[in-house]
Amino acid sequence: MDTPGVAEAAALLRDFHFVDPTWDGTAFLPFWGRELDVSIDPDEDGITSRQLKVLKAVLAHADDLRPAFEKALFAYYQADVDGSYCSYDEQARPIPGSGPPKLTESAQVWGLIDDPVVCIPLYFRTKSAIEFSLSFNCEWDREHGLGVLYRNWRPVEFGGWDL
């Protein structure tokens, strides 16, 4: 592997391989309490030193991010997802119960998402923060999924996979 950064990333991740356009592997991530897929979006020259720095930080971070994530996702869901759409019948009347499920407590968000992937971008939004995103399949938007941008271990933006 002569591409810059690839050998170093391969030493940190299991099953590391190129799936156009990203480098993908797996690792146990203490902050999520389980093994997750990790995807790195390289530039034309390979994996950058900043991406390797973020990868190492992600692999080493031991504080559990799930409680704060749950609360932040629940707040996002209540503000932006709940009641945001529904299906319509042939006469263009709303079909009751066809929109996103109603949630009454934050723990219910876990039943609406699955398959988390850590994504390390090519372009960062700050000069030095630890930035990455978590992407999920989600029940309320199967086409676009859920993306959560993290900056210095805090969720700062929610949206589709392609934040």
pLDDT digits over 81-108, tens only? 987 777 778 888 877 766 788 899 999 9
- Asked, for residue 92, whether it belongs to a domain, the answer is no
Amino acid 157 reads E
Q: Hey, what's the torsion of the CAs at 88, 90, 93, 99, to 10 degrees?
A: -10
Residue 149 reports pLDDT greater than 60: yes
- Asked, for residue 29, whether it belongs to a domain, the answer is yes
- Asked, for residue 78, whether it belongs to a domain, the answer is yes
DSSP 46: B
| Domain total in the chain | 1
- Asked, for residue 95, whether it belongs to a domain, the answer is no
| Closest C-alpha to 115, from 59, 40, 37, 2 | 37
- Asked, for residue 89, whether it belongs to a domain, the answer is no
- Asked, for residue 30, whether it belongs to a domain, the answer is yes
46 confidence band (pLDDT: 50, 70, 90): very high
The CA radius of gyration of the chain, in Å to the nearest whole number, is: 18
Residues shown for the chain: 163
Residue range of the domain that includes 152: 1-83+100-163
- Asked, for residue 149, whether it belongs to a domain, the answer is yes
- Asked, for residue 88, whether it belongs to a domain, the answer is no
Average pLDDT over residues 70-77: 97
